[in-house]
């Protein structure tokens, strides 16, 4: 007999002040605080459309001695407006079984705009188009077609928070960094296009093991102890050793690209970039991360009709949405010249 999956009807993106709520939400964060009237819970709820803060005030808060992130909940309450942000005042909350077998997980996990399988296809298309050196092509195919690696990459987020922090985020980020690197090779033709592309594809490989993904998306033990740069090197090394026809100098350069892609020691790079390709990879990686942060800020600004974002800690500034130059090609229904460099958003 097929299992019954609980239906979700109310999504965070659509909630408005004064609206009653009675639906399923993932508990993303929970901490107990103290007020004059007694202890209360500070909560963050999540679904596929975003997050919303919530409160359980005393004495109702005493019904929940402990609350752990990753728990599925059914929340009854209503939406308040607090400091120009929506917030859930929780009147009652049921904790669902932790197996999540009775819910559709896709209702609660944000995902990339483009399905991860299509992102993987696009990465493999870049390999087919730009890599002619057979040992490089063999390495890429062996890694990307490895059953364990591929399964992890398809679902992996690009980070715990800040940028690309959603299922498929790692592949989305990888594809955009690789595209940017290939575009820069057209501007700077002396760059080693093939080594740079391999470095772009595998620079964040270790994130597939650094983060758990799934409903909690927390750091794994090896992620906390080693970090994704070292993890990526460790996971790639058996493939490099097995690729006997690949020149040792090319292998060394690839290792350097991965090790140095954070650019500076204070940003987590064990070594700083020391080749032109390493500089390009670092700047492409940094650029894509920041543009993704801005893109997410624009989404929030559009919801609230804002031209300026709130202060963004990771960018250390507010972000402005400037007016766009009219696009005559859109008015004429003309296609852009370079389809492969279109943004990933529909």
Peptide linkage before 328 cis (omega within 30 of 0): no
The predicted pLDDT at position 345 comes to 42
Q: Between residues 165 and 247, which one has the greater pLDDT?
A: 247
Query: Does the pLDDT value for residue 319 go beyond 60?
Result: yes
Please tell me the number of Cα atoms within 13 Å of 148 on its side-chain side: 5
- pLDDT digits 0-9 by tens, 238-264: 999 999 999 999 999 999 999 999 999
pLDDT at 5: 58
Distance CA 254, CA 241 (A): 13
The overall longest dimension of the chain from CA atoms, in Å, is 71
Q: Report the range of poorest mean pLDDT among 74-88, 99-113, 114-128.
A: 99-113
Instruction: Say if residue 59 is preceded by a cis peptide, omega within 30 of 0.
Output: yes
pLDDT band at 276; cut points 50, 70, 90:
very high
Report residue 225: phi and psi, to 5°.
-85, -30
Place of tokens 């690197």: 181
Confidence of residue 82 (pLDDT cuts 50, 70, 90): confident
pLDDT of residue 98: 54
Q: What is the DSSP letter of 163?
A: S
Query: Which domains are delineated in the chain?
Result: 12-106 (2.40.50.140), 109-293 (1.10.3210)
Bridge-based pairing state of the strands 85-95 and 50-56: parallel
Is pLDDT larger for residue 186 or for residue 167? Answer: 186
pLDDT of amino acid 214 = 65
Question: Of the given ranges (18-27, 279-288, 333-342), which has the lowest mean pLDDT?
Answer: 333-342
């Amino acid at each position: 007999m097929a299992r019954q999956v609980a239906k979700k009807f109310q999504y965070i993106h659509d909630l408005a002040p004064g609206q009653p709520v009675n639906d399923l939400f993932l508990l993303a964060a929970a901490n107990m605080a103290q007020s004059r009237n007694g202890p209360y819970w500070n909560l963050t709820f999540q679904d596929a459309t975003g997050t919303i803060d919530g409160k359980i005030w005393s004495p109702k808060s005493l019904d929940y001695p402990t609350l752990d992130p990753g728990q599925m909940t059914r929340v009854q309450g209503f939406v308040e407006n607090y400091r120009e942000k929506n917030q859930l005042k929780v009147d009652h909350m049921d904790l669902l079984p932790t197996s999540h077998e009775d819910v559709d997980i896709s209702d609660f996990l944000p995902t990339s705009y483009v399905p991860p399988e299509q992102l993987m296809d696009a990465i493999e298309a870049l390999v087919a188009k730009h890599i002619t050196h057979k040992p490089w092509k063999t390495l890429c195919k062996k890694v990307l077609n490895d059953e364990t690696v591929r399964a992890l990459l398809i679902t992996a987020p690009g980070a715990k928070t800040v940028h690309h922090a959603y299922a498929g985020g790692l592949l989305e980020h990888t594809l955009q960094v690789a595209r940017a690197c290939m575009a820069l090779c057209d501007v700077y033709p002396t760059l080693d296009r093939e080594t740079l592309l391999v470095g772009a594809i595998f620079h964040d490989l270790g994130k597939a093991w650094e983060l758990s993904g799934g409903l909690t998306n927390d750091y794994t033990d090896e992620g906390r102890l080693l970090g994704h740069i070292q993890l990526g090197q460790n996971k790639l090394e058996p493939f490099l050793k097995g690729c006997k026809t690949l020149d040792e100098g090319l292998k060394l350069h690839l290792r350097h690209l991965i090790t140095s892609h954070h650019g500076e020691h204070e940003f987590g790079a064990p070594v700083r970039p020391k080749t032109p390709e390493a500089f390009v990879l670092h700047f492409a990686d940094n650029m894509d991360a920041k543009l993704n942060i801005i893109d997410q800020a624009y989404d929030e600004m559009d919801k609230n009709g804002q031209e300026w974002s709130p202060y963004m800690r990771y960018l250390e500034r507010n972000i402005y949405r400037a007016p766009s130059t009219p696009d005559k090609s859109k008015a004429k229904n003309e296609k852009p010249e370079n389809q492969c460099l279109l943004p990933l958003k529909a």
